[in-house]
Amino acid sequence: MLRARLFTACMIMAFARVAAGADASALFADGERAFAAGDYQEALRLFTAARDAGSASASSYYNIGVSQYRLGDYDAAAATFETLAAEFPAFGELAEYNRGLALRADGNIAAARAAFERARSSSDDKIVALANAQLGAIGTAQIVDEPEWTGYFAGGLGYDDNVALLNELVLPSTGAASPLAEVLGVLTRDFGPRPLRFDASAYAVHYPDVGDFDQTAVRLSLEAEQRLGQWTVIVGPTLGRSTLDGEGFEELIGADLRMRRSFGMGFAFEARAVYDDTNAADPRFAYLDGSRRFLRLSMQHTGAARVRAGYDIERNARADPGVSPSRERVSLVYQRPLSQTWTVDAAFAHRTSRYSAASVPRDERLRELSLAARRELRGNWTLGVEYQWFDNDSTAPEFAYDGQRLALGLSRSFYGI
């Protein structure tokens, strides 16, 4: 088929193989031989092993994506090429072209067209020609048949031995423990070749033993994306609303700005600034009126594992100084695949809060630890389990608390809704 021929034409473009150490080099070479022999499953295993052994070059991600495509795992291939584009901007257009092939093969025509449009910005005439050929081939597709939305759903059951409220804005802690049931849904609309995206998300958690603390939250955002040299800038407005025990709690309107840049060798930097104008959704919570400013700086490295370090600054200016802390937070996240189906995560964070103008002035220190494991199932389903521990010390003892949370859940991604 035309798709297979074009994919092969792109696949044979030259890559410089960079493997860290003899083991990674040997695994990479074995993967090339397996691929040439048509054993794509073995090639995928070897290329993945080479990456995990230290060969985190663009060629490793590229060959993993090609192997996934040949095996018909188009979702995984699209995700791999998306990572390649993010981590190695020099290969961005080539990665977008191959991502478009995977999306088209998976039936996601609208997203494929957007990927091919981005590939057309390449300075390489071969990639431009390949992208134009694909756009020509899908140009006659009926608009009504194009999937426009993607989605994500997650649900879980668990137990929380110290139910805390949204952002600790009502009480610093509670003495109640309860089982819990939670659900999260996300809908995304990508506007094709235009760098514009709409996101809608909703979250709800129910505590059977302490229903007064049931919470829901809805958030809407519109994001425009623009490339400025080596930087990717994403900016747009946001709207949000939350409830507590079924009653309106907080409403917000704000703006979100993100700037990302990859530096090669698996390193990527992101700066994010958020401003929210907040209002109480019910007169009982009038003390929430005001604003919130948030800044995050993070550096991520992707290789055998993904490691992200972050530094956050948060400033609140609410009607009540008791819910207007100045905060700083440092965090470290570690994520590593154990196999093609299993992934483990670990995260630690340390946050300081200062309530200088509160009726009870105090300084607080919160430590958080989380451990998680996930297993990929058939049909884009993922099974996960997560344990969380937190401990908050305060110079005012009545505001000290600790707790633990355990949850088991299922999640699934949807394409072409």
| H runs (alpha helix) in 208-250 | none
Per-residue pLDDT, averaged over 247-274, amounts to 90
CATH number for the domain formed by residue range(s) 2-16+57-145: 1.25.40.10
Confidence band of 387 (pLDDT split at 50, 70, 90): very high
- The pLDDT value recorded for residue 8 is 37
Confidence band of 175 (pLDDT split at 50, 70, 90): low
Residues 6+ apart with CB under 8 A from 149: 187, 188, 189, 416, 417
- pLDDT tens digit sequence for 100-129: 999 888 878 888 888 888 888 887 778 888
Per-residue pLDDT, averaged over 253-270, amounts to 88
Kindly state the helix (H) or strand (E) to which residue 284 belongs, with its residue range.
none
Query: What does the mean pLDDT of the chain come to?
Result: 84
Q: Which of 295, 291, 288 is nearest to 259 (CA)?
A: 295
- pLDDT tens digit sequence for 152-168: 899 999 999 988 644 45
- pLDDT tens digit sequence for 127-156: 888 888 888 877 644 333 344 678 889 999
Per-residue pLDDT, averaged over 180-194, amounts to 85
- pLDDT > 90 fraction of the chain, expressed in percent and rounded: 45
At 70, the amino acid letter reads R
Kindly state the helix (H) or strand (E) to which residue 414 belongs, with its residue range.
strand 401-415
Kindly state the helix (H) or strand (E) to which residue 346 belongs, with its residue range.
strand 342-355
Confirm if 211 and 245 have CB atoms less than 8 A apart: yes
Domain chopping of the chain, boundaries: 2-16+57-145, 149-415
Per-residue pLDDT, averaged over 329-339, amounts to 92
Largest Cα–Cα separation, the chain? 73
Rounded-to-integer distance, Cα 77 and Cα 96, Å: 11
| H runs (alpha helix) in 71-108 | 74-87, 92-105
Q: Which residue has the tokens 């994919």?
A: 7
Give yes or no for residue 178 having a pLDDT over 50. yes
- The pLDDT value recorded for residue 139 is 65
Kindly state the helix (H) or strand (E) to which residue 9 belongs, with its residue range.
helix 2-11
Q: Which of 222, 220, 284 is nearest to 252 (CA)?
A: 220
Give yes or no for residue 386 having a pLDDT over 80. yes
Give yes or no for residue 11 having a pLDDT over 50. no
Rounded-to-integer distance, Cα 34 and Cα 28, Å: 10
- pLDDT tens digit sequence for 33-48: 888 888 888 889 888 8
Rounded-to-integer distance, Cα 346 and Cα 290, Å: 34
pTM for the full model?
A: 0.67
Phi first, then psi, for residue 173 (nearest 5°) are -165, 170
Per-residue pLDDT, averaged over 57-62, amounts to 84
- DSSP per position, 242-266: EEETTEEEEEEEEEEEEEEEEEETT
CATH class of domain segment(s) 149-415: mainly beta
- The pLDDT value recorded for residue 211 is 81
Long-range pairs for 275-280 at CB < 8 Å and ≥24 separation?
Answer: 276/238, 276/240, 276/252, 277/252, 277/253, 278/250, 278/251, 278/252, 278/318, 279/250, 279/251, 279/252, 280/248, 280/249, 280/250, 280/251
